[in-house]
Amino acid sequence: MVTYEYRCNRCGDFETSQPLGTATQSVPCPVCAGDAARVWSPPLLNRTPAPLARALAREDASRDYPDVVDDLPPRRRRHPNRPDHPAMSRLPRL
């Protein structure tokens, strides 16, 4: 089913769901039964979630204007009460 948009001169815009390719140029308005003309609207093919859109915009901006840093970020401190994994004890320490 595809959503088509129509505009009634008295009641305003409304949408109808119809099978693909079956939309007519006009339909009766569901409120006043007057003639409503079909309105062209761009298809909604993909909707990006807002957090992802912000992250993508930040990534695009960083290509042209990278952040300049003066120092290395601070190292994360180990939690004192968390025991090490036994396999980690065999790794070399830096």
pLDDT in tens, 50-73: 899 899 888 888 887 777 778 887
Residues 73-82 have a mean pLDDT of 70
Q: Are 36 and 6 in contact (CB under 8 A)?
A: yes
Higher-pLDDT residue of 13 and 61 is 13
Given a cut of 80, whether residue 22 has pLDDT beyond it is yes
Q: Are 18 and 5 in contact (CB under 8 A)?
A: no
79's tokens: 């939690």
* Average pLDDT taken over every residue of the chain: 83
Instruction: List, in order, residues 6 or more apart from 94 with CB less than 8 Å away.
Output: none
pLDDT tens, residue by residue, 27-36: 999 999 999 9
Domain boundaries, the chain: 2-39
Considering the entire predicted model, what is its pTM? 0.47
Residue 5: exposed, middle, or buried by beta-carbon count in 10 A (0-12, 13-18, 19+)?
middle
